[in-house]
Chain A
Amino acid sequence: MIIPNSKVLLEVSNLFANIDGVEILKGVNLTVRAGEVHAVMGPNGSGKSTFSKILAGHPAYRVTGGRVLFEGRDLLALPPEERTRAGVFLAFQYPVEIPGVSNSAFLRLAYNTLQAQRGRDELDPLEFDDFVREKIKIVDMDPAFLDRSVNEGFSGGEKKRNEILQMAILEPKLAILDETDSGLDIDALRVVANGVNRLITPDNAVVLVTHYQRLLNYITPDYVHVMEGGQIIKTGGKELALELETRGYDWVRDEFESAAGMTA
């Protein structure tokens, strides 16, 4: 929801980044305020997944220009774990499997690390078990997944539920969901989307990175941005997503290029 004059959480200005010398982001600008849901859409290779990884601090990418402020702090100066502790959360497109590490132990360590950071009480394994069994209801997940190794042998849908479960446990101020809808059947998509909707509050914000409009049938964005060639080239309301669904991305690019040509 758009709340007039709500707090600015994320401010990205003129962000440039590359991987192995190949420029992927070429001047991204984006402002996200508390309470808002943003969708970043765009064709494959437009740089939208890179953008989400850079916000989370993936070590393979190099930022070459611009800045990112999170609640006024220089986000890029923080190592990835500090960004999470500051309240930024990335739900992965392809969550990694971690054999031998039980999901519940992993979730508890993540939770307790954040609790300690926030000066709140940590939970012992029994207390955490009660806590997490409440939280898994949000994503309608079988408690058996808590005892399994993190993401190991999980189906695509189970992995995505597990990502949203982590979001529910860590309660981030800014959640970036990278292609959370990919590989989900319609039932799983609904469950995951409902989970996200339940976690949205006036104090936090969500950035949905997605290729398709269908996720936006379940999570209504306040803003839709089109990313192309490493830049955000158009911003609109939720109706823009529907237009993209019917007309594709080409017209946006043409419009942007002719506008750029006019100013040149």
Chain B
Amino acid sequence: MSSTLQAVINQPYKHGFVTEIDADVLPKGLNEDVIRLISKKKNEPEWLLEFRLQAYRHWLTMTEPTWPNVRYPKIDFQDISYYSAPKPKKKLASLDEVDPELLRTFEKLGVPLHEQKALAGVAVDVVFDSVSVATTYKAKLAEVGIIFCSFSEAVQNHPELVKKYLGSVVPSGDNFYAALNSAVFTDGSFVYIPKGTRCPMELSTYFRINTQESGQFERTLIIAEEGSYVSYLEGCTAPRFDTNQLHAAVVELVALDNAEIKYSTVQNWYAGDEHGVGGIYNFVTKRGLCRGVNSKISWTQVETGSAITWKYPSCILLGDNSSGEFYSVALTNHKQQADTGTKMVHIGKNTRSRIVSKGISAGQSNNSYRGLVKIGPKAQGARNYSQCDSMLIGAHSGAHTFPYIQVQNNTAKVEHEASTSKIGEEQLFYFASRGIGAEEAVSMIINGFCKDVFTQLPMEFAVEATKLLGLKLEGSIG
């Protein structure tokens, strides 16, 4: 790889600062007492504590998955603090009482919390370490019956909804990290869209890990009642530390008859430095249940950060004629490792799914697509189309594709296409001999490569994502 290519990929991480703020941090370690303490701090009902303890007991019997194509030292789960919250000066009644230091932090991250300054048409819930610190446009959304609040508030104010749906898509014992999350989750976002309502603005959650020794275990639950629609976006950043922080989230989506949920992620956790020191371990379980007929769930993700990404946003297509989509761009650089993809489980009749995955590997990174398409025996007329493209930048990165296809119904139609391409010296020289420098050339090639995914993002974020990829690759060309 020429030095031009090197130079384009190696851009410093912009969100690596730490906010100096008084925090209420639990001592490191995990046991039933810690779980009881978290539950008590959050003033939770008994059934929720039971949910946690059950998950914890199950987790103790489980082992970490070793099948992903990633390598890292064994995590000491007793060396993590499971709760860290900025100390409130007093009980908050409005945003004006949010610690100014926090307001400044999010301002700096480009997420202003004052509604008048906020992105027009986007409501934001902001999660700082273990707690949600603010939610904008809550009142306005409530006027049309939409509930958009932190998970903790939902537990207090809408316990019947939480109880009904929590764990209904990702059971507490689903997998090692989902079980851990179910035991210790601290906050997250809750969305409820009532029957026949089209959510008038983009909803979004911004996750920020600030404390070096803590993990972030948040929980997101989105319920779209019959005939409703919502578009939701999450963003994430973390300071630059030379240790690894664990992020093990669970996201559950439920779409009832004729409902549609569009879930987009722009993930920019700290990825570690060029030698692979530090960075977030992003071990996340995301799953959507198309419970009703004609329901639709669409995942779009732009994964650029984290030292390790282990994530498979999936759709269970239960309702007849329901459909699932997965659009993904995963970019890895330096020593990052990503094992990401999706699962499309076709259960109902005439269910459809579409997978478009674009993996970009630069530096010495390793990028794997892993996807399951499963057609059940009753899924008459099910259809799937998968397209997995990989792009290699330079000569030291790796791209892998692991498709799993299981078909139990002979009326199903499943298509899989895959390609691998490479940004090489000859392409860059071609751009250069037309007056275009390496950075712009790479950005143009990458944007062309990712076009099918970017067009799925809400507009403001498509622009952000394009810029982000450019930044991430800066310095890698050469």
Contacts and interface: CB of A to CB of B under 8 A. Distances in A.
Interface of A: 56-60, 79-81, 83-85, 89-90, 92, 95-96, 98-102, 105-106, 109-110, 113-114, 117, 149, 166, 170
B2 interface: yes
B429 A59 contact: yes
A57 B432 contact: yes
Q: Which of B4, B432, B435, B447 has its CB near the most chain A CB atoms (within 10 A)?
A: B435
A52 to B, nearest CB: 10
A170 B2 contact: no
A99 B440 CA distance: 16
A84 B434 contact: yes
13 contacts: A81-B431, A85-B435, A89-B433, A90-B433, A96-B427, A100-B445, A100-B447, A109-B436, A109-B444, A110-B434, A114-B435, A117-B435, A149-B448
B449 interface: yes
Contact of B433 (A84, A98, A100): A84
B28 interface: no
Contacts of A100: 445, 447-449, 451
Contacts of A105: 444
B171 interface: no
A170 B435 contact: yes
Interface in B282-334: none
B19 interface: no
Nearest to A58: B429
B234 interface: no
B433 A80 contact: yes
B426 interface: yes
B406 interface: no
Contacts of B2: 59
A263 to B, nearest CB: 38
Given A57-B432, A79-B432, A96 B426 contact: yes
B433 A101 contact: no
A166 B445 CA distance: 18
Given A81-B435, A89-B433, A100-B451, 11 more contacts: A57-B433, A79-B4, A80-B432, A81-B436, A85-B435, A96-B427, A100-B447, A100-B449, A109-B444, A113-B436, A170-B435
Nearest to B425: A59
B5 to A, nearest CB: 10
B432 A81 contact: yes
A105 B440 CA distance: 12
Nearest to B451: A100
A113 B435 contact: yes
A56 B448 contact: no
A56 B4 CA distance: 16
Given A59-B2, A59-B425, A60-B425, A98 B435 contact: no
A80 B4 CA distance: 11
A84 B432 contact: yes
Contact of A98 (B4, B437, B445, B451): B445
A109 B440 contact: yes
A110 B448 contact: no
Interface in B395-410: none
Q: Which of A57, A81, A101 has its CB near the most chain B CB atoms (within 10 A)?
A: A81
A92 to B, nearest CB: 7
Contacts of A114: 435
A98 B436 contact: no
Contact of A80 (B429, B440, B445, B448): B429
A176 B425 CA distance: 20
Given A59-B2, A109-B440, A109-B444, A98 B427 contact: yes
B433 A56 contact: yes
A38 B448 CA distance: 38
Contacts of A113: 434-436, 440
CB-CB nearest 10 A-B residue pairs: A100-B448, A80-B432, A84-B435, A110-B434, A101-B448, A81-B432, A96-B430, A113-B435, A100-B449, A81-B437
A170 B434 contact: yes
Contacts of A57: 429, 432-433
B421 interface: yes
A242 B435 CA distance: 36
Contacts of A149: 448
A117 to B, nearest CB: 7
B324 to A, nearest CB: 25
Contact of A110 (B429, B436, B447): B436
A46 B427 CA distance: 25
Contacts of B425: 59-60
Interface string B425-468: 11101111111111010001101110100000000000000000
A58 B436 CA distance: 14
